[in-house]
Chains A and B, each alone.
Chain A
Amino acid sequence: MIITRRTFVKAAAASAAAFVLPEAAPGAPPAPAMRAVPSSGERLPAVGLGTWITFNVGDDPVLRDECADVIAAFFEAGGRMIDSSPMYGSSQPVIGYGLERLGRPEALFSAEKVWTSSDGPEQIEQSRRFWGVPRFDLVQVHNLVGWETHLETLFAMKADGRIRYVGITTSEGRQHDLFEQIMRAHPLDFVQLTYNVVDREAEERLLPLAAERGMAVIVNRPFRQSALTRRLEGETLPDWAAEIGAGTWAQFILKFILSHPAVTVAIPATTRVDHVRENLMAATGPLPDAALRERMAAYVRDL
């Protein structure tokens, strides 16, 4: 199913109630837009924080502090969701270090993954210890590895109150057929996939299906692991980008992603405090309508 202007407008109207711009305190930067998790109604800022590569800094004390600074700026700018995986090297203990340094911010929405062909509960427990949280808000099956066993575990953990939400992930367009089958067969709270102005395959089936099934959508690799922003950095941002308040290519791309009505949270990763602020700013102000979205995609394609 290709998203058309009609279906887009219909879905956008349906999700309008779930997408509200909160008022900012006087003098403070505008707060990011909030989106509802369909299965619970809980509202989350539309931009989160990914940790793939950027937070894998090992025991380097200087870089650990830089990551902690990024986390601090993320919460200061109104962010909540931090996403990681056991696959991301030292990212989990680095997140734990940052959270500890910040005094365990209550705003945190912890999104983790299980990525093993053997003992899922043991891996989730080890991840929890790395983060230093009492429980994860969301645990997702990373790239569908061992998904049947892990989903059984995760739904049982959710029923026991040991996690709050269950999800699955994929990236860069892989395994969409199986992904769709699992979405149709299981009452998932979240799905995580790759979607951006040049990787639009998810628009065909997965994003409409998530909207139909009431599943929140986390968008990973919004900048194609920075390859997209690097490719665009020498190019001029079109004048009409100002209409939607996009002052940088990163904001241009994030606004494109967030303007899809099925998307709940995009999780760009960064090592820079100024970038994390810039990313959260993308969730403020107007978003493109269906016509402008097509213009954005065409503009990037033709560069």
Chain B
Amino acid sequence: MSEWWTYRLEDFLLFSPRVYWRMFELHNAAFWPLHLLTLAAGLAIVLLVLRRPRRHGLWVALILAALFAFVGWSFLWSRYAAINWAIAYVAPAFGLQALLLAIGAAARGGLAFDRQDMAGRLGLLIMAIGLVAYPLVAPLFGRPWASAEVFGIAPDPTAITTLGMLLAAHGGLTPLLFPIPLLWLLLSGLTLHTMGDPQAWLPLLAAGATVAALVLRRIAG
């Protein structure tokens, strides 16, 4: 198609903010009380990362792989793609991320969580934001609790928590696990920005902080 330069971001927004946020309300209502289980899974990931019992990397990666597959199927493919046809092309990326996490967990060396540097500690903070702070964002921005985005149910907190976990990890396949959550947060942030939603800076900030931590680690290392 010619004249691409005449298009603005708004031209690619197919839905209204009201429809977007009601989608989370409907999704939450459909899966409640599964949120308690996914939050418990998130807490389990934090404990595994902090205490590092035997085969902890395997369990962390498998839990995240299951949640990525679930969010990709239940939210992106089955719900969001109905109002945004482009998401039908994005949802498989969540499946790919699940596969990469599973492979990463099973691969020789797997994932280990012994990063004690500044980036690793920032990773733990980002994990906490994705798990604990993100569900609070809805009421803070004047939306009902029913539209809260919860780890393991909604894509943004799932991607943010995963990036935090990855910053605290090392292992042969770790670099392959960053791109999909980072690109998702970029897409989500741009979507919210185009909707004129002040929450847009949250996913963009999480992605930016992750990239900055990786750059700093590279410089320091």
Interface of A is mostly: loop
**Contacting residues of chain A (126-166) with chain B, CB-CB under 8 angstroms:** 143, 145
The answer to whether the Cβ of B215 comes within 8 Å of any Cβ in the partner chain is: no
Q: Does B6 contact A (CB under 8 A)?
A: yes
**CA A59 to CA B83, docked complex, whole Å:** 9
Stretch of B13-21, B37-45, B95-103, B165-173 on the interface side:
B13-21
Choice from B3, B10, B82 contacting A58 with Cβ under 8 Å: B82
Give the interface SS of chain B, mostly helix, strand, loop or mixed: loop
Digitize A57-90: 1 where CB-to-B-CB distance is under 8 Å, 0 elsewhere.
Answer: 1111011000000000000000000000001111
Residue B217 at the chain A interface, CB threshold 8 Å: no
Taking CB atoms, residues of chain B closer than 8 Å to A169 are: none
A175 touches B (CB below 8 Å): yes
Contacts of B85 in A (CB 8 A): 87, 89
Chain A 109-128 interface residues, beta-carbon cutoff 8 Å to B = none
Asked whether A242 is an interface residue with its Cβ less than 8 Å from the other chain, the reply is no
Asked whether any CB of chain B lies closer than 8 Å to the CB of A53, the reply is: yes
Q: Does B52 contact A (CB under 8 A)?
A: no
Residue-wise, chain B 73-115 has the 8 Å CB interface mask toward A (1 for contact) of 0000001001111000000000000000000000000000000
Q: Bound state CA distance, A173 and B82, in angstroms?
A: 29
Number of contact residues on B: which range applies? 20 to 34
**Residues in A whose Cβ lies below 8 Å from that of B219:** none
Contact with A along B185-215 (1 / 0, CB 8 A): 0000000000000000000000000000000
Report the separation of the CA atoms of residues A235 and B122 in the bound assembly, to the nearest whole angstrom: 49
A59 in contact with B79 (CB, 8 Å): yes
* A: contact size bracket: 20 to 34
**Per-residue CB proximity of A30-58 to B under 8 Å, as 1/0?**
00000000000000000000000110111
Residues of A within 8 A of B2 (CB): 175, 178
User: B132 within 8 Å of A by Cβ?
Assistant: no
- Tell me whether B6 and A89 are in contact (CB under 8 A): no
Q: Is the CB of A59 within 8 A of B82?
A: yes
**B20-31 interface code vs A (CB 8 A; 1 in, 0 out):** 001100100000
B1 at the interface (CB under 8 A from A): yes
If A58-B83, A59-B26 touch, does A53 touch B3 (CB 8 Å cutoff)?
A: no
Is the pair B6, A172 in contact by a Cβ cutoff of 8 Å?
yes
* Given A90-B82, A174-B3, A175-B2, A57:B19 Cβ within 8 A: yes
Q: How far is the CB of A269 from chain B (nearest CB, A)?
A: 11
Which residues does chain A contribute within 8 Å of B1, judged by CB atoms? 143, 145
- A-B residue pairs in contact (CB < 8 Å), sample of 13: A53-B13, A53-B14, A53-B15, A56-B16, A56-B83, A57-B19, A57-B83, A58-B83, A60-B19, A60-B26, A63-B18, A87-B85, A90-B82
Q: Which residues of B contact A (CB under 8 A)?
A: 1-3, 6, 10-11, 13-16, 18-19, 22-23, 26, 79, 82-85
